Amino acid sequence: MAADKRTTKRSRKNTRPHLFDPLTLRGLEIRNRVWLPPMDTYSAFAQDGKPTPFHYQHYVSRALGGFGMVIAEATAVSPEGRISPNDVGLWNEDQVEAWRWIVDGIRDAGAVPAVQLNHSGRKGSTGSFAVGYEGQSVPLDAGGWETVAPSPIAFGEYATPRELATDEIRGIIEQFRAAADRAIRAGFQAIEIHAAHGYLLSEFLDPLTNERTDEYGGDLTGRMRLLIEVSDAVRSVMPDNAPLLVRISATDWAAGGWDLDQTIAVARALRSHGVDLIDVSTGGIIAGVTIPAEPGYQVPFASEVRKHADIRTTAVGLITKAKQADKIVNHGYADAVEIGRAALRNPYWPLRAAYKLGLSREAAGYPDQYVRGAY
């Protein structure tokens, strides 16, 4: 009898928990709802924007670990669009070739390779472990550069940016379009536009960082104009079956600033401009605010955007446990979850989660080479 109980306890089911249901966007099937979010690694040490063998190991190991979509870190659309001197980019053809073997490795491991395109705006030219000057602007004589923004308002103690002229704004739209074209030619199957965390596109959205009086400022229609035009430009070079994602901060956690209602309005507009999913985060726009971080604290924002903008969403932010993640998808709070810092600790988080949720090793999708080590 005891042996029978042990057998029952050890049995694994072949039916998938909702977290491991496939998701189809524009005809592209993603094997599950556990995705790797873009996380900066500041590891293009030659400062040429090219990913390296480190990036191959970083991303492909997580594809082998079972993530459904692997979204590569903030990838600059121009040298001045980097967050730090050691950011990766897609502003030239050499970078296309440097990305291709990584993209192929992600896809060969069963995941969908995606890339986040970004312009850093006033939060560019900042330090990192690789160059020093952490938490501050990198001086010009140490490899830094002049930053730009919708208005000449600094982020905290960073250098004050220069206000962009209208023709420069149009040039940045073209940089996003060209980078998206390179991303597709490198083999990426999905593209995410970074409009969160206080980088350039979110600076234009927020009334606390955008004081312009031209067509790119003023009311919400003006402040969202750049993001809409970037989305149109990026969508124009993507295949019909390639999903377009936009990452957005649903609130800046500051009185009188960016909030959920504006986020929902922008998400509705983006849906009508060919955007398929909103990657919902919060914060990073205004320095010195208090963020009530706790497990799942950003999930309600993803849920509200999904419900009121009628668009698919992902949820991110201190999601660390399998049952927690499955509940988010099962209850319809979001269509997928993104596992960030926990994935830095464990590249095989999805395989462990599959075991925790009772999924058999066959249904979990282990690489053949790893079956002998299955949970």
Smallest Cα–Cα separation from 72: which of 313, 247, 271, 228? 247
17 to each of 21, 27, 68, 112, 286, how far by Cα in Å?
Answer: 7, 22, 14, 20, 38
What is the Cα–Cα distance from 254 to 273, expressed in whole angstroms?
A: 29
Helix H segments across 83-199?
93-108, 166-186
Determine which helix (DSSP H) or strand (DSSP E) holds 227, and give its type and residue range.
helix 225-236
Q: 3-state class of 241 per DSSP?
A: coil
CB 88 within 8 A of CB 37: no
Which residues have a catalytic role annotated?
199
Determine which helix (DSSP H) or strand (DSSP E) holds 223, and give its type and residue range.
helix 220-223
Structure tokens at 215: 């067509």
For 129, other C-beta atoms within 10 Å of its C-beta total 11
For 25, other C-beta atoms within 10 Å of its C-beta total 21
